[in-house]
Amino acid sequence: MEHIRMPKVENVRLLDRVSSRKATLGTLYLTATHVIFVENASETRKETWVLHSQISSIEKQATTATGCHPLLIRCKNFQVIQLIIPQERDCHDVYISLIRLARPVKYEELYCFSFNPKLDKEEQERGWKLVDLNEEYNRMGIPNNYWQISDVNRDYGVCDSYPTEVYVPKSATAHIIVGSSKFRSRRRFPALSYYCKDNNASICRSSQPLSGFSARCLEDELMLQAIRKTNPESDFLYVVDTRPKLNAMANRAAGKGYENEDNYSNIKFQFIGIENIHVMRSSLQKMLEVCELKSPSMSDFLWGLENSGWLKHIKAIMDAGIFIAKAVAEEGVSVLVHCSDGWDRTAQVCSVASLLLDPYYRTMKGFMVLIEKDWVSFGHKFNHRYGNLDGDPKEISPVIDQFIECVWQLMEQFPCAFEFNERFLIHVQHHIYSCQFGNFLCNSQKERQELKIQERTYSLWAHLWKNRADYLNPLYRLDHSQTQGTLRPQIAPCIFLYKFWSGMYNRFEKGMHPRQSVTDYLMAVKEETQQLEEELEVLGERLASLQKVQLNDNEVKSKQQDQNKELGRSTSNISLANTPQEYNNNLKSFPSRSPSQGDEEDSALILTQDNLKSSDPDLSANSDQESGVEDLSCRSPSSGGCLPSEDSGKDSDEAVFLTI
Amino acid sequence: MEFAELIKTATVESVLLSGAGLPPVRGTLCITSHHLLLSSRPGGDGAPGTVELWLLIRNVDAVEKRLAGSSGTITLRCKDLKVLQLEIPGMEECLNVASSIEALSSVDSVMMMYPFFYRPQDLRLEAGWHLFPLEQYYQQIATQTSQWRLSGVNRDFAACPTYPPAVIVPAAVDDEALRKAARFRQGGRFPVLSYYHQKNGTVMLRSSQPLTGPNRKRCREDELLLGTVLDEGERGFIIDTRSAQAAKQARMTGGGTEPKSSYPRWKRLHRPLERGRPLQESFIKLVDACNDTSLTMDRWLSRLESCRWLSHVKAALSTACLAAQCLDREEACVLVHGAEGTDTTLLVTALAQLILDPGCRTLAGFQGLLEREWIEAGHPFHLRCARSAYSHARLKQEAPLFLLFLDCVWQLGRQFPFSLEFGERLLLTLFDNAYASSYGTFLGNNEKERCLCKVKESTHSLWAWLNQPEEKRKYLNPLYSRNALVIWPSVEPQSIQLWQGLFFRWIRSSKYLDEAWAEIQRLVENDDTSVEESAGNRRSQSLSDTAAQTENER
């Protein structure tokens, strides 16, 4: 609290991003964890909550003609908030406070250490156990004849950014592992990421070898050989360096580099040019500038998008994933993947490949497991990449954002293949930055253990799992062809399949998105069908037993009474279903789930943010387009009179249409 | 002319057909007056052939031949953007086939078109031709106001050769004044009612440009006509689909726009929309880009941008929204025109109605809208859709305005997935039929031509075919629910997407997307059956109420 110079400022105006002429007057509050804007007018007193950890930049803009002081807050979840503060002094105080609040220096300052979802110790523990990686390797069929769990890294003795439990070939002795680790950047030796039990092919990951121009390491060579031999059907191993060749060559001068095919027996070496974190950071920056343009022309937008290079990078990551999935599924060849340190591009590529290969990772639970496996456990530097603590801005890069977008691009191409929906991805992205849950804290498992994260914070996965009904894809069905086996995305010349994800990068510009949610509607329909079917079933059963009762009229009286009791209950159910009002209530109750119902804190957070941009505040109470309420009332002519969601885009578009 | 004269070789054996994402197949190629057929015989000589290709020759946009040794390959680029390859043994056969297809596909006489020969058994010739009479549309308006009348001034197409015989005009203006006003408008297209906005009684009119010319001519009747539309103290908007400068320049060639001094209560807004050759070129470039397999991700978006197509989509939607906004929000009457009033004008008026009027968003209502605002309103389909994006022929008057309209409708459907009763498939079918069809609906350039050719007497209507219950089912949107509100689309670039279903129809596989639609259909239908089975259910009742309501409106 000592950093808050100014807990409350009145008469602040919140500008609408699309039409800057519109602004809402309200009061700004700074709390220990949030910036909160509460609207003055309107009975709803709409609130906009922004977590300090979501703030990526604060900018004081030039004083307006009327002598007011604009403050621009950009968030990591792509929300942009423009406030106008009447007094220069207040503006400065808010600015200085936020600068400090948005850049905590100690982990303990992060929201997850104060966030309390009112769960008891046991629930907290159970939450953390929802995702169990040992269970996951067992699911893959490991340990087996070829693979085993190794404790060589217990106490993080070999590699401090790896987990304590790693899976390695049985034939790789501790000596080989340690030897190999000394020949790899940051001692990240080759370890198993995914194993395909159908054909023994696997995906392993590591960092780059310290080969320089000519160095060799016998243990490392043996390590690769051991990996190759875990797949007896195949006579070679792919080594995929996900960097552009030029970058890899430059690394040789620094004593690092890539595998020489001559030194390793039976490897096929392959470069896949994914750019480094600095290129990606600036690419996102450029794309966000395009998203922020005020009424851009089609050309501005397309040019800007292309110049950002963003979709090109997404495609490069996807191509790498497709290459590896193809090697494993179709050629039956194992793959070792690395980049430089093996914690960014390698994580992206391994997880995209796993997702393509194994339908399990396309379920909600499986996706959580995938992120825990390829990102959290293998030491993706969440703290550095997502700037949770104040640090080197050059370390920040949207690495996992790109992975999440790859998943979305796949969802667009395979609408029935994923158990979860777009909202799930958006909320996962949101919480990678929110620091509301402990999962993504720190840079490695070692650090998390030292901080006792599991005792002191809560797991995001349990939270999402509890609200899973919000995140289901209605088109997902276990017996559908798209949920079986490997996904094979269309490749060249189908570059047009890669699309700009406005649902993410213009997430808060509601007017830009389809005004009616097919997902929510279908979910409601699905639930309704299910309920009706259940009802039918009950009726059927009752009918059958009624007939039985008639047939066995001479049965024991007491038994008959029992059945009558039961009958009475179900008839009352029927009469309930027969009452229109009651049914209507049912109908309404289906879809009224808010994105994160059941968790006051969080639902307030997400809902208010989602509502922020709905252009007409008077309508905003009903225009939560993520909720399915309107969608159903849309279908129901009796309540068709008020459908603000359809109308709400209008005012924001006004500026575009009518400039008379 | 006899078709037989154009067919140099009627059948060729052992032709290999490939393309459009299908595995190559060998068979016998037959050329008839209107079709190209290929039948394969997997079971040897005795077995009946399977027809692998049944292509309307009118659909062929470009024929390219390549000879190699004793055989040749013909590439057929179709107006529906499909590309087919025929590998023909024998050089002479190849040349003959190519020139036959070329000759047959360039037959330009309307009366020689296939619809005049097509006689499907299960359709009646007269069915579908009089589904949407303007009289009926007028009756709806007449129940609301007496300010409008149905005029027969154009009964014999004398006042305006491109208008239908009946038009809706202000009740206060007599036919004589209309004739005079017609002489002051290019092609005689005097202002007529296009749409009556029931919510507030405002109207949208359309016309062609006034013939003010370099001497700033005026026409009292035209001014009177527009004057009577506005009540005391009301103001209206003229949306000119040309830039202010282009409108001014048009004066040099006898055209122009309404000067403020002569039409003081009308405020002019200029919203330049592309038309004519630049629009056709945009279409050609886009199709070219879509077919360019050498494009890489880092060049794709700028290539897409350079085609300008999406800019045209954005501009068309924005202008339609502006017109809709004037009517609905500003509560003002609107007159839309460009130059001829047969292209961008209709694009804007038709789109604006779709945005405003839920009645246009049903399958039947949409057909009615097309009939009123495109076909009867005199969009020159024959000229505009003579050639598609592949043709090497010198461009004459081709321009894909109708396609641009369909694209905009698709964008609306994407942004409001529940609000259109029809789906993408209908839009694709309309595109195909506008360019090459077995039905007479899109033949000719206007009602006068269709009358002369006896199109309505001698050809089948596309609507009759579409509206057969089995056929109709395919075009319905399973998610549709009547939505009484105005659907205001977003015209931000982020909201406008390339219509992959059309431009990549033959390039990408749509298998997974089709599966998704099948799944949606399954879910919704399951629900409907359950709802029906569950007796006394309010929702099913209210749903059937809507159905009844919609039925009444038809």
For residue A650, what pLDDT is reported?
34
Q: Sheet containing B11-19: which strands, arranged edge to edge?
A: B50-56, B35-40, B22-31, B11-19, B83-89, B71-78, B60-68
A339 carries an active-site annotation: yes
Q: Give per-residue pLDDT as tens, B285-305.
A: 999 999 998 888 889 999 999
Catalytic residue among A204, A291, A339, A350: A339
CB contact under 8 A, B539 and A496: no
Q: B295, B430, B304, B289: which is closest to B370 by C-alpha? A: B430
H/E segment holding residue B515: helix B511-533
The alpha-carbon radius of gyration of chain A (Å, integer) is: 28
Using a CB-CB cut-off of 8 Å, the residues of chain A touching B524 are 522, 525
pLDDT band at A654 (very low <50, low <70, confident <90, very high): very low
Q: Closest residue of A to B292, CA-based? A: A493
pLDDT band at A5 (very low <50, low <70, confident <90, very high): confident
Give the pTM: 0.88
All residues at 6 or more sequence positions from B37 whose CB lies less than 8 Å from its CB, including other chains: B29, B30, B31, B51, B53, B54, B55
What Å distances lie between residue B462 and A325, B130, B407, B440, B445, CA to CA? 48, 12, 20, 7, 16
Higher pLDDT, B463 or A595: B463
Q: Closest residue of A to B489, CA-based? A: A649
Could you tell me how many residues make up chain A? 660
All residues at 6 or more sequence positions from A563 whose CB lies less than 8 Å from its CB, including other chains: A545, A549
Mean pLDDT of chain B: 91
Using a CB-CB cut-off of 8 Å, the residues of chain B touching A494 are 504, 507-508
Q: B418, B522, B478, B474: which is closest to A529 by C-alpha? A: B522
CA angle A185, A188, A193 (to 5 degrees): 140
What Å distances lie between residue A228 and A116, A222, A333, A342, B158, CA to CA? 48, 10, 9, 19, 86
Q: What is the mean pLDDT of residues A473-497?
A: 87
Using a CB-CB cut-off of 8 Å, the residues of chain B touching A296 are 492-493
Indicate whether A595 pLDDT > 70: no
H/E segment holding residue B542: helix B538-553
Indicate whether B537 pLDDT > 60: no
For residue B554, what pLDDT is reported?
32
Residue B486 touches partner A, C-beta closer than 8 Å: yes
Which of A57-71, A492-506, B368-382 reaches the highest mean pLDDT? Answer: B368-382
- Reported in sequence order, the residue ranges of A61-138 that DSSP labels E, i.e. its strands, are 69-75, 80-85
For residue B253, what pLDDT is reported?
94
CB contact under 8 A, A297 and B493: yes
All residues at 6 or more sequence positions from B86 whose CB lies less than 8 Å from its CB, including other chains: B15, B16, B17, B29, B38, B73, B74, B75, B76, B97
Using a CB-CB cut-off of 8 Å, the residues of chain A touching B493 are 296-298, 300-302
Q: Which of A475, A499, A583 sits opposite B516 (nearest CB)?
A: A475
Q: Whole-angstrom Cα distance, residue A256 to residue A183?
A: 9
pLDDT band at B87 (very low <50, low <70, confident <90, very high): very high
| B201 DSSP 8-state letter | T
* Residue B338 in tokens: 């460009």
H helical segments located in A8-132: 88-101, 121-129
For residue B43, what pLDDT is reported?
53
pLDDT band at B340 (very low <50, low <70, confident <90, very high): very high
CB contact under 8 A, B491 and A660: no
For residue B49, what pLDDT is reported?
65
Q: What is the largest CA-CA distance in chain B?
A: 82
* Residue B217 in tokens: 């001519």
Residue B293 touches partner A, C-beta closer than 8 Å: yes
Q: Closest residue of A to B503, CA-based? A: A496
- By CB neighbour count within 10 A (0-12 exposed, 13-18 middle, 19+ buried), where does B147 fall? middle
Please count the other Cβ atoms lying within 10 Å of the Cβ belonging to residue A1. Answer: 8
Residue whose pair of structure tokens reads 């005020």 in the numeric block? A294
What sign does the CA torsion over A406, A410, A416, A421 have?
positive
Indicate whether A75 pLDDT > 50: yes
Q: Whole-angstrom Cα distance, residue B96 to residue B327?
A: 58
Q: Closest residue of A to B511, CA-based? A: A414
Residue whose pair of structure tokens reads 């159908």 in the numeric block? A198
Q: Whole-angstrom Cα distance, residue A301 to residue A280?
A: 19
Q: Give per-residue pLDDT as tens, B383-400.
A: 999 999 999 888 889 999
Question: Closest Cα of chain B to A534: distance in Å?
Answer: 10
Q: Whole-angstrom Cα distance, residue A561 to residue A550?
A: 13
For residue A91, what pLDDT is reported?
92
All residues at 6 or more sequence positions from A331 whose CB lies less than 8 Å from its CB, including other chains: A201, A234
Residue ranges of B 410-429 with Cβ closer than 8 A to chain A: 414-419
Please count the other Cβ atoms lying within 10 Å of the Cβ belonging to residue B59. Answer: 22
Using a CB-CB cut-off of 8 Å, the residues of chain A touching B494 are 291, 301, 500, 502, 506, 509, 512
Using a CB-CB cut-off of 8 Å, the residues of chain B touching A512 are 490, 492, 494-495
For residue A295, what pLDDT is reported?
85
Q: What is the largest CA-CA distance in chain A?
A: 96
Q: Which of A583, A635, A649 sits opposite B490 (nearest CB)?
A: A649
Say which amino acid occupies B380: P
CA angle A417, A421, A427 (to 5 degrees): 140
User: Number of C-alpha atoms within 13 angstroms, CB side, residue A437?
Assistant: 21
Residue B303 and residue B295 in contact, taking contact as beta carbons nearer than 8 Å = yes
Q: What is the mean pLDDT of residues A314-343?
A: 96
Instruction: Please tell me the least confidently modeled range out of A16-20, A478-482, A503-507, B315-319.
Output: A16-20
Give the residue from B282, B290, B297 with the most A CB atoms within 10 Å of its CB, the best one to mutate: B297
Please count the other Cβ atoms lying within 10 Å of the Cβ belonging to residue B22. Answer: 12
Using a CB-CB cut-off of 8 Å, the residues of chain A touching B305 are 298-299, 302-303, 306
Q: Closest residue of A to B509, CA-based? A: A490
Residue B67 and residue B77 in contact, taking contact as beta carbons nearer than 8 Å = no
Residue-wise DSSP of B477-493:
-TT-----S------SG
Question: Closest Cα of chain B to A629: distance in Å?
Answer: 14
* Residue A261 in tokens: 């095919």
Instruction: Please tell me the least confidently modeled range out of A22-26, B302-306, B316-320.
Output: A22-26
Q: Closest residue of A to B302, CA-based? A: A303
Say which amino acid occupies B77: R
Indicate whether A336 pLDDT > 50: yes
Higher pLDDT, B136 or A613: B136
Q: What is the mean pLDDT of residues A381-404?
A: 96
Higher pLDDT, A412 or B297: A412
Q: What is the mean pLDDT of residues B307-336?
A: 96
Look at strands A267-271 and A334-338 and give their pairing.
unpaired
Q: Whole-angstrom Cα distance, residue B428 to residue B422?
A: 11
For residue A359, what pLDDT is reported?
97
CB contact under 8 A, B500 and A496: yes
Q: What is the mean pLDDT of residues A20-30?
A: 84
CB contact under 8 A, B491 and A657: yes
pLDDT band at A553 (very low <50, low <70, confident <90, very high): low
Q: Which of A298, A416, A657 sits opposite B325 (nearest CB)?
A: A657
Q: Give per-residue pLDDT as tens, A601-638.
A: 333 333 333 333 333 323 223 333 322 223 323 333 33
What Å distances lie between residue A364 and A367, A403, A507, B350, B515, CA to CA? 5, 16, 22, 44, 21
Q: Which of A300, A482, A529 sits opposite B530 (nearest CB)?
A: A529
Residue whose pair of structure tokens reads 């990591």 in the numeric block? A76
Residue whose pair of structure tokens reads 């343009």 in the numeric block? A293
Residue whose pair of structure tokens reads 């243990």 in the numeric block? A219
All residues at 6 or more sequence positions from B426 whose CB lies less than 8 Å from its CB, including other chains: B363, B366, B466, B475
Q: Whole-angstrom Cα distance, residue B388 to residue B280?
A: 8
- Reported in sequence order, the residue ranges of B207-250 that DSSP labels E, i.e. its strands, are 236-240
Please count the other Cβ atoms lying within 10 Å of the Cβ belonging to residue B122. Answer: 7
ipTM: 0.91
Q: Closest residue of A to B498, CA-based? A: A496
Q: What is the mean pLDDT of residues B3-9?
A: 85
Count of CB pairs separated by less than 8 Å, A with B? 225
Indicate whether A73 pLDDT > 60: yes
CB contact under 8 A, B516 and A415: yes
Using a CB-CB cut-off of 8 Å, the residues of chain B touching A511 are 490, 492
Q: Give per-residue pLDDT as tens, A505-552.
A: 998 887 788 877 888 888 888 888 888 888 888 888 888 888 877 766
